Chains A and B, each alone.
Chain A
Amino acid sequence: MVTRALTKRFGKRLAVDGLDLRIPAGSISGFVGPNGAGKTTTIRMLLGLIRPTDGTGTVLGHPLGHSRAYLPRVGALIEGPTFYPALSGRENLMVLARLGGLRPNRVDAVLERVGLHGRGLDPFRTYSLGMRQRLGIAAALLPGPELLVLDEPTNGLDPYGIAEIRAMLRSFADDGMTVFVSSHLLAEIQQVCEHLVVIEAGRLLFQGGVDELLAARAPELIVRTENPGDARYLLALVKGTGRRARLIGHYESTTLEIVADCSWAGDLNRLAMANGITLVHLAERRSTLEEAFFEITRTGGRAKSGPGGSSSDPAGFGRKAGSWAAKGRRP
């Protein structure tokens, strides 16, 4: 799935602003951004529900304007599961199966796949939120898609439901589908997705591998000293080596955060020991996607392409020396 300068304007409001997407085939790609960032509008344009104001793109090798050529190979759950409340889950899927010219036995197959076979004859209105989401995914699976587009599939789910959806997404990817999933649950995206697209105010902030994004953040060591006074002393020692560090928490805190990778941990330990400081904890701290997301959206990031793309800043939001956040907006 590729777009070039994809733009959508609703009156004076620019919902999507020159988006250049490149979603690799066979991957699970996350699509994240704050509310109103333009995620759903982008998805609707990809599915032919909304006409782009400008820009081009291709889905499964066909141009965006010819959605009838690629939609038979696409499954989609858009902005939550919406079905006819009075019809059963099975009947709701049958409406879509008949419309798409699909065999009726596909309905039973996808109900089985999402674990709803036992409740397929119950009215949709009696379904729990988790069951509704699963029915939405079942509807998306009906055509046996090559590309699965899921908009907030975990919205409102409890941790068990989220875990179920996560397992499903992995199984879809194992089956060779390309999965494009938007979500607000960044921890889930981090666990499931290999590729990531971040947008804000309709503009691309980052796209590339999730690991690439996380690795781009400066690594940190978390150190805890036995005595509170030692922490402040160690802070001064670390700063003396030219590294950035800070005390976490209150004045009497024993915990330090140091910008350094784990290869410096041994030196740090020796430095502490040489100065009579006992460390009770020394560990590398891995960045979370949530932290990366907040930073990239706060700073405006810098558009970064993964495969085939280019960027002068591999992080997309590199830190400035002595500061915990980049200041510049995207040029």
Chain B
Amino acid sequence: MIWRSFVSEWVKMRRRRLWYGTYGAITGVVMLTTIVTIAGALRHPGAHGALTLVQLAHASGLSQGLTQSGVLLGAVSFSVAAFQFGGEFSHGTLRNLLVRQPRRSVLMAGKCLAVLTFLIGAVVLATVFGICAAFVMAHLRSIPTSAWTSGAGMSDLGNLLGDLVIATCGFAVIGMIAGVLFRSSVIAIAAGLAVLLPFETILTDAVPGTGRWLPAQLLEAIAQGGSASAPFAAAVITVAAYLAGAVAIAMLVFVRRDVTA
């Protein structure tokens, strides 16, 4: 049953414009942050803890640029997921789907899996392009890359990819929840991005210590492999708890609410 819903959603997501838009945006974000990070690296240690070329030559250097793209990847993932779910209400297509699949939880689970696989594919592709961009930039800035291809470098890259996937999925699930609760892709995206990005950032700056409790801050920390205020394990556990609760509420609302759209 979930498989049918999953396959059905993929029929919808195969459209070229969605692929170009999402994969292009995510790849562009990753490449851009990689290029900017390496281009902005200092030849000698400077103020504000800026990266240096020596640091970039380490095994973790390859993933430095990718690490910075977590929030932007999250914003794109959130928007795509919110659009895929909220759009069903906005377009009025949900009623068609529910006539063919009356088990609403099954429908939601299948759609969710499809959107997540779509976004994970985008992150993997973007990472590949980000790596290519990093090697090109390393060549341009004469950064030795032998450490990048070492076992430690590959391991670091693997960890980073895993972190990015977790963070992306987290943002996507929040997007789906927003789509279901707001029943409009436009409102879900607008309200969600406003809360997740500027609002949370301002709140974190204004009230020290709140960063370890706010979902977007936690997901950003996860994308970076953990931060000082939110260690990786703690961030994953907190986000998992948030998402479990939110998914349960969204599922309950989705299953019980009348479909009048």
Instruction: Tell me which residues across on chain B come within 8 A of A100, comparing CB atoms.
Output: 4, 100-101
**B101, A99: Cβ atoms under 8 Å?**
yes
Asked whether A286 is an interface residue with its Cβ less than 8 Å from the other chain, the reply is no
Q: Is the CB of A48 within 8 A of B102?
A: yes
Selecting from A73-81, A209-217, A266-274, A287-295, the interface stretch reads A73-81
Interface contact A94-B100, CB-CB below 8 Å: no
Measured between beta carbons, the chain B residues less than 8 angstroms from A67 are: 102
Q: Which residue of B8, B99, B102 is within 8 Å of A95 (Cβ)?
A: B8
Tally chain A residues at the interface, Cβ within 8 Å.
Answer: 31
B95 and A82: CB pair below 8 A? Answer: yes
Confirm or deny: B155 has a beta carbon within 8 angstroms of a beta carbon on chain A.
no
B146 CB within 8 Å of chain A: no
Cross-interface CB contact of A96 among B91, B92, B100, B256, cutoff 8 Å: B100
Q: Does B93 contact A (CB under 8 A)?
A: yes
Which A residues are CB-close (under 8 A) to B8? Answer: 95-96, 98-99
B91 — which chain A residues lie within 8 A by C-beta? 82-85
User: Do A94 and B11 contact each other (CB < 8 Å), given the known contacts A47-B99, A68-B102?
Assistant: yes
- Complex Cα–Cα for A86 and B15 (A): 8
* CB 8 Å contact bits of B1-23 with A (1 = contact, 0 = none): 00011011101100101100000
Partner of B260, one of A44, A82, A142: A44
A83–B90 CA distance with the chains assembled, in angstroms: 11
B103 beta carbon closer than 8 Å to chain A: yes
- Complex interface bits, A45-64 against B, C-beta within 8 A gives 1, otherwise 0: 00111110000000000000
Interface assignment of B97: CB less than 8 Å from any CB of chain A? yes
B93 touches A74 (CB 8 A): no
Chain B positions within 8 Å of A94 at CB level = 11
**CB-CB < 8 A to B17: which residues of A?**
86
Chain B, interface SS category = helix
Which one of A79, A82, A83, A100 has the greatest number of beta carbons of chain B within 10 Å?
A82
Cα A67 to Cα B17 in complex, Å, equals 35
| A139 to B92 alpha-carbon distance, docked (Å) | 14
B96 in complex: contacting residue of A82, A98, A143, CB < 8 Å: A82
Scan residues 68-101 of chain B and give those whose CB is less than 8 A from a CB of chain A: 91-93, 95-101
* B101 near A51: Cβ-Cβ < 8 Å: no
Does the CB pair B93–A87 fall under 8 Å? no
Could you say which residues of chain A place their CB within 8 Å of the CB of B256?
A: 51
Q: Once bound together, how far apart are the Cα atoms of A92 and B15, in whole Å?
A: 11
Known A87-B12, A91-B11, A98-B4: A139·B102 in contact at CB below 8 Å: no
- How far apart are B95's CB and chain A's nearest CB, in angstroms? 5
Interface membership of B190, Cβ < 8 A: no
Is residue A71 within 8 Å, beta carbon to beta carbon, of the partner chain? yes
Contacts of A74 in B (CB 8 A): 99
CB nearest neighbor in B for A49: B259
Cβ-based interface call for A322 (8 A) = no
The chain B residues found within 8 Å of chain A, CB to CB, are: 4-5, 7-9, 11-12, 15, 17-18, 91-93, 95-103, 107, 256, 258-260
11 A-B contacts (beta carbon < 8 Å): A44-B260, A47-B95, A67-B102, A68-B102, A78-B96, A79-B92, A84-B12, A95-B9, A98-B8, A99-B107, A143-B100
Residues on A facing B (Cβ under 8 Å): 44, 47-51, 67-68, 71, 74, 76, 78-80, 82-87, 91, 94-96, 98-101, 139, 142-143
The 4 closest A-B pairs by CB, nearest first: A82-B92, A99-B8, A100-B100, A98-B8
18 more A-B residue pairs beyond the given contacts A51-B258, A96-B97, A99-B8, with a C-beta to C-beta distance below 8 A:
A44-B259, A49-B95, A49-B260, A50-B258, A50-B259, A68-B102, A71-B100, A78-B96, A82-B93, A83-B93, A84-B93, A91-B11, A96-B96, A96-B100, A98-B8, A99-B5, A99-B100, A100-B101
